[in-house]
Amino acid sequence: MSGAFAQSPAPARLLERTGPRVDNVRLGILSMLAGIALMAVMNALSKVLADGYPLAEVTFFRNLFGLLPAVAMVAAAGGRRTLRTGKVRGHVGRAVVGLISMVLLFWSYRLMPLADAVAISYSAPLFLTALSVPLLGERVGPYRWGAVAVGFVGVLVIVQPGEGTFGHGAPVAIAAAVAYALAQITLRQLGRTEAPVTTVFYFTAFATALCAVALPFAWVTPSLKDFGLMALMGLAGGGSQYFITRAYALAPGAVVSPFSYSGILWATLFGWMLWGDTPASHVVVGALVLIASGLLILVRETRRRG
Q: What would the pLDDT profile of 236-293 be if each residue is shown by its tens digit?
A: 999 998 888 888 878 777 778 788 888 989 999 999 999 998 888 888 898 898 888 8
The Cα–Cα gap between 106 and 210 comes to 16
The pLDDT of 14-22, averaged and rounded, is: 46
Residue 3 in this model has a pLDDT that exceeds 60:
no
Q: What is the mean pLDDT of residues 229-239?
A: 95
Mean pLDDT of 134-154: 81
Mean pLDDT of 86-98: 90
Give the pLDDT score at 9: 41
Report pLDDT for 149: 87
CB 234 within 8 A of CB 64: yes
Give the per-residue pLDDT at 80: 83
pLDDT of residue 232: 97
Host H or E run for residue 244: helix 224-250
- Residue 305: predicted pLDDT: 56
% of the chain at pLDDT higher than 90: 39
Q: How confident is the model at residue 92 (pLDDT cuts 50, 70, 90)?
A: very high
Q: What angle do CA 99, 42, 186 make, to 5 degrees?
A: 30
Does position 1 have pLDDT exceeding 60, yes or no? no
Average pLDDT value over all residues in the chain: 84
Confidence band of 147 (pLDDT split at 50, 70, 90):
confident
- Cβ(173)–Cβ(120) under 8 Å? yes
Q: What does the pLDDT average to over 31-50?
A: 94
E-strand stretches of 184-304: none
Which band of pLDDT confidence, cut at 50, 70 and 90, is reported for residue 7? very low
The confidence band for 295, taking pLDDT boundaries of 50, 70 and 90, is: confident
Report the distance separating Cα 135 and Cα 13, nearest Å.
22
Percent of the chain that is helix, strand, coil (3-state, to 5): 80, 0, 20
